[in-house]
Amino acid sequence: MGNENRGLVAGVRHPRGVYLLPNLLTTGAMFGGFYAIVAAMNGRFTAAAIAVFIAMVLDGLDGRVARMTNTQSAFGAEYDSLSDMVSFGLAPALVMYQWALVHLHDLGWFWAKAGWLAAFIYTASAALRLARFNTQVGTQDKRFFQGLPSPSAAAVMMGTVWMWEQFSVDGRTLMIPALVITLVSGGLMVSGFSYYSFKDIDLRKRVPFVSVIAVLSLFVLIALWPSIVLYSLFVLYTLSGPLHFAWRRWRKLRQRRAQPE
- In the chain, where are the structural domains located? 14-254
DSSP run (H or E) holding 12: strand 12-13
- What is the C-alpha separation between 209 and 219, in angstroms, rounded? 16
- What is the C-alpha separation between 243 and 57, in angstroms, rounded? 26
Instruction: Decide if pLDDT at 71 tops 90.
Output: no
- Average pLDDT over every residue of 39-52: 97
Question: Helix 109-136 to helix 150-166 angle, to the nearest 10 degrees?
Answer: 140
User: Do the Cβ atoms of 96 and 45 come closer than 8 Å?
Assistant: no
What per-residue confidence (pLDDT) applies to 3?
Answer: 46
- Indicate the CATH number for domain 14-254: 1.20.120.1760
What per-residue confidence (pLDDT) applies to 105?
Answer: 94
Main-chain dihedrals φ then ψ at residue 214, nearest 5 degrees? -65, -45
DSSP run (H or E) holding 104: none
Instruction: Decide if pLDDT at 102 tops 50.
Output: yes
Instruction: Decide if pLDDT at 4 tops 60.
Output: no
Main-chain dihedrals φ then ψ at residue 192, nearest 5 degrees? -100, 10
Confidence of residue 17 (pLDDT cuts 50, 70, 90): low
- 0.85 exceeded by the pTM? yes
Confidence of residue 38 (pLDDT cuts 50, 70, 90): very high
